[in-house]
Structure 1
Amino acid sequence: MRNRRMASLLAVGIAANLVSALTPATASAASEAFAAKDPMRQYTQQKPRWQRCDAGSPAAFQCATLKVPLDYVDPGGRRIDIAVSRLKAGSAKERRGVLLFNPGGPGEPGLNMPADLGADLPEPVKRQYDLIGFDPRGVGQSSPVSCGLTADEKITERPYKAETFAKDVEWARSVADKCQAEGGDTLRHLTTRNTARDMDVIRAVLGERKISYLGYSYGTYLGAVYTQMFPRRTDRFVLDSATDPTRIWRGIFQGMAEGTEPAFTRWSRWTAQRHTTYELGSTPVEVRKTFWALVAQANRKPVDSDEGPLTGDDIRAKRHKFFRVQVAAEWVAGLKKAAEGRIPAPSGTPDQALSLAPPAFARDVPQDNVDASAWAVLCTDTRTWPRDPEQYRRDAIRDKARYPLYGDFASTITPCAFWKPGSEPTTTVNHEVRALILQNEWDSQTPLAAGQAMHRALRGSRMVTVAGGEGHGVYPFNSCADRSATVYLTTDRLPAKDLTCQAAAE
């Protein structure tokens, strides 16, 4: 690799000298000929025009827009924008390189992450790295896409019911058709592999031989794909709340349903031990009976709450709450009282990986941008989505019986059933890499089993599990895993073996 890199640099120098010695007309022809041999040069040698991101942001927080090819197979074709942000390392003497961020999704913007997440990062990390954010292709300020979806079409939580399944099939078909009509030529290129290629263009433009990375949730898959595609350009990668790379993408949702059942069982036990506080039952069996009776009642007559009227299916769709036992107990107890006409129900605390402010630079972003870009990635990353609606019906019926809380939501029809297949197969993540995986034991979006699967796929990685840890997102949120991540980012020392640490009692 080193010899090939040297040869490439030599070729650039020879070409530059040759061009300068020729007449203008001949030089132009030589330059075009060289560009034809290296069509990516126009992207990797861009000079970003850094400027203050926003009048309300710190002067040191800078943004620039880069160009990348929409289709890397045709780098001379259509180009799109990638919005990039930067906070420079606090110490020029200690600076190691760049640390890229991704907040998850797919479909979530990451441009503000250096400013938002940087406030929580330990000082040694901020001294050593330029913090780099970017909106993935098609998202936010990076040539945002749209399907023109209505508010109803953006509703994705659709439980299986025999009487509504035909309408759900039509919803899925309509979303796929609208996305194809609105931006099919663009959406087919919004893949994880292409976003990884965009990351490598960012690396080259920043003048870095390697990049380090901190990615959450979907961002762990993006990071893993980058390490698979560009192993020699991978430095220190922290994958926080990891997805299972062997189950992209339908299996990821089904994994959420699988992981919800043990969380619900744990919640039932915890709540039964506190019957005098929540009055939901003195045994786990009684707690579960109370909950399912509430679901049945709400399906007959929605429960008024400060979230609006909730049907029983709406309550089931909030399955993420059960990964935080106290939050769920307070929420269900409030719903029960509301159903009995005693008090309004509280909404409970949302369960999110990161609490990031909306992008300060958001202008003219379509209202369905998150949905359109997410479906594009989910549907085009893999060719394994079933094409027969009846397969979804059978799977939803089966999984509702297996995983009553969320199984039918996870396995029912989606627009991917009617989406045109992507141009590339799913990336197989299976190689040697010195990455660090962080995982809460009770993660609502990426269950512990998903993080363990990522760990197996990335041989040479280490995993730190936060026993009793609740919620989606570990670092740097005052977790017992924080030290391992900071040591790795600042010294390159991974734990000698996989670790399990205990979450702090609340």
Structure 2
Amino acid sequence: MDLIRDLLGEEKLNYLGYSYGTWLGAWYASLFPERVGRMVLDSYIDFSRPLDIIAPQIPARQRALDEILIPYAVRHARHFQLGTSEAAVRTHMANLSPRMQHTIAVPLLLTAYKRDGADQFLEVIAIARELDQLFTTMPKPLDRATAEKAAQRLPFIRRDAERKAGRQVIAQRLLASYFETLPHPRREGLDMDFNASTYAAIRCNDAPASTDLTAWEKQLQDAAERAPHFFFGLYNNTCATWVRPDLKQPDPTPLQSLDLMLVQSQYDVATPVEGANAFFARLPRAFRVYVPGELERGLFPYRDRNCVDLTVTRYLLGEPPAQRETVCSALPLEQDARK
């Protein structure tokens, strides 16, 4: 990063980083504080502590489910068909078969990062419930081709013509995942594609990990009890056996002298608010834009014009806000906006 700055002929680095990019920005600023210009860290990680990505996300995902997504499903019970009370929604989720719980784990993870993913998150659950019910009526062993044909007639898919195509795509993806893992519910080895292996290498190289497998198993069990739909993130304890390079995280003290701009939403599941609040408190000269009630990850540009975007843009142009923290109103979820 400093080589890029030098090649551009710039005395200072102006930087906008999101999520893990905030870790990179903080690392750079800790090493070269005198070369930092305007630096925005959006959806940021607490750089004052060793990197721990997965464990804090599990309770954060459960909190977003409890306080944002389930109430949203109840407010629009007719649209999502998951029940008219929070208890009913929780019952539908808890009653999914173990195999279906496993099948929807990754789709729920991938749709929980954005405000516009809230509808798909709930539709995954509704379709999974109907697929489970469908499978109970079909002869065993299950036949994939027959199941895919029958799934096209599921009531939830056919109920809304406008959303039918999208729901069919979700159903087909769930079916593919369901039947892919059905013959091999347990694997002795660990296979990683390009993205997963890169992610593991970065995460395991950046910070030391505990090699106490007993403690890890206890953490996994505790997470399963507290967040039964999200504890799967701890399945692959790759870093416990990683041969890490001799690398030391720089002292974050120099960050205290910088007028960084931090941006954070309350219900971000990837960079939870607890770490964000702790890091902000340790940086007396930093500014922050905070959006309570929001689960969006990577807020800027937020397209709200007069708060998040205005404050961050002015900062990037050399006009820091007068106050240390700017609190902005959250934009509505899709069905709330249609009222």
Instruction: State if a TM-score over 0.5 links the two structures.
Output: yes
Q: Distance in 2 between matches of 1:374 and 1:231?
A: 27
Q: Choose the corresponding residue for 1:283, options 77, 85, 90.
A: 85
**Is contact 1:238–1:435 with CA below 8 Å preserved after alignment?**
yes
The offset of 1:259, in angstroms, is 0.4
Q: Determine the structure 1 residue equivalent to 2:105.
A: 316
Alpha-carbon distance in structure 2 between the residues aligned to 1:253 and 1:217: 13
Correspondences of 1:61-460 after superposition (within 5 Å): 199-249=1-51, 251-266=52-67, 267-294=69-96, 297=97, 299-300=98-99, 311-317=100-106, 318-322=108-112, 324=115, 325-341=118-134, 342=154, 343=157, 346-347=169-170, 368-383=193-208, 385-407=209-231, 409-430=232-253, 431-460=256-285
Counterpart CA distance in 1 for 2:121 and 2:8 is: 45
Q: Per-residue deviation at 1:410? A: 3.4
* Aligned-partner Cα distance in 2 for 1:389–1:395: 10
Larger helix percent:
2
CA 1:337 to 1:402, structure 2 compared with 1: closer, same or farther past 3 Å? closer
Counterpart secondary structure, 2:298? coil
In 2, distance between residues paired with 1:494 and 1:224? 21
The partner residue of 1:483 within 307, 310, 313 is 310
Quick one: distance in 2 between partners of 1:337 and 1:345?
Answer: 12
Once the 2 structures are TM-superposed, how far is the Cα of residue 282 of structure 1 from its aligned partner? 1.7
- Residue 53 of structure 2 aligns to a residue whose secondary structure is helix
Q: Larger Rg: 1 or 2?
A: 1
Structure 1 window deviating more from structure 2 (237-246 vs 462-471): it is 462-471
Q: Percent of pairs identical after alignment? A: 26
Higher relative contact order (CA closer than 8 Å, sequence separation 6+): 2
Q: Partners of 2:324 and 2:84 in 1: how far apart?
A: 41
Q: Equivalent residue for 2:188? A: none
- Distance across 2 between alignment mates of 1:256 and 1:428: 25
Q: CA deviation at 1:406?
A: 1.6
Q: Which amino acid aligns with 1:227?
A: A
- What is the CA–CA distance in structure 2 between the aligned matches of 1:481 and 1:213, rounded to whole Å? 17
Judged with a 3 Å threshold, the aligned counterparts in structure 2 of structure 1 residues 371 and 262 are, in CA distance, closer, same or farther, namely: closer
Larger strand percent: 1
**Alpha-carbon deviation of 1:210?**
0.7
Q: 1:222 and 1:458, CA in 2 relative to 1: closer, same or farther beyond 3 A?
A: farther
**Cα separation, 2, equivalents of 1:471 and 1:290:** 25
The answer as to whether partners of 2:104 and 2:124 remain within 8 angstroms in 1 is no
Q: Separation in 2 of the partners of 1:260 and 1:416?
A: 22
What is the aligned partner in structure 1 of residue 324 from structure 2?
A: 497
Going from structure 1 to structure 2, the CA distance change for 1:373 and 1:332 (only over 3 Å counts) comes to: closer
Relative to structure 1, the CA distance from residue 206 to residue 379 in structure 2 (aligned partners, 3 Å threshold; closer, same or farther) is same
Separation (CA, whole Å) in 2 of partners of 1:208 and 1:453: 32
Q: 1:346 to 1:503 in 2, by over 3 A?
A: farther
**Letter of the structure 2 residue corresponding to residue 498 of structure 1:** E
**Which SS does the other structure have where 1:470 is aligned?**
coil
Alignment partners' CA distance in 2, 1:487 and 1:329: 37
The answer as to whether partners of 1:389 and 1:413 remain within 8 angstroms in 2 is no
| Runs of 5+ consecutive residues of structure 1 not aligned to the other structure | 1-198, 301-310, 349-366
Residue among 288, 311, 314 paired with 1:463: 288
Whether the 8 Å contact between 2:104 and 2:128 is mirrored in structure 1 is no
- RMSD of equivalent CA atoms: 2.4
Conservation of the 8 A alpha-carbon contact between 1:393 and 1:412: no
Provide the aligned length of Structure 1 versus Structure 2: 274
Q: How far apart, CA to CA, are the structure 2 residues paired with 1:200 and 1:207?
A: 11
- 1:369 CA drift (Å): 4.5
In 2, Cα distance between the equivalents of 1:260 and 1:221? 21
Match of 1:108 in 2: none
Residue identity in the other structure for 2:102: D
What stretches of structure 2 of length at least 5 have no aligned partner? 135-153, 158-166, 172-191
TM-score normalised to the size of structure 1?
0.50
Counterpart of 2:132 in structure 1: which amino acid?
A: A
Structure 1 338/404 Cα, relative in aligned 2: closer, same or farther at 3 Å?
A: closer
Deviation at 1:377, TM superposition (A): 2.2
Residue 392 of structure 1 contacts residue 413 of structure 1 at CA under 8 Å; is this kept in 2?
A: no
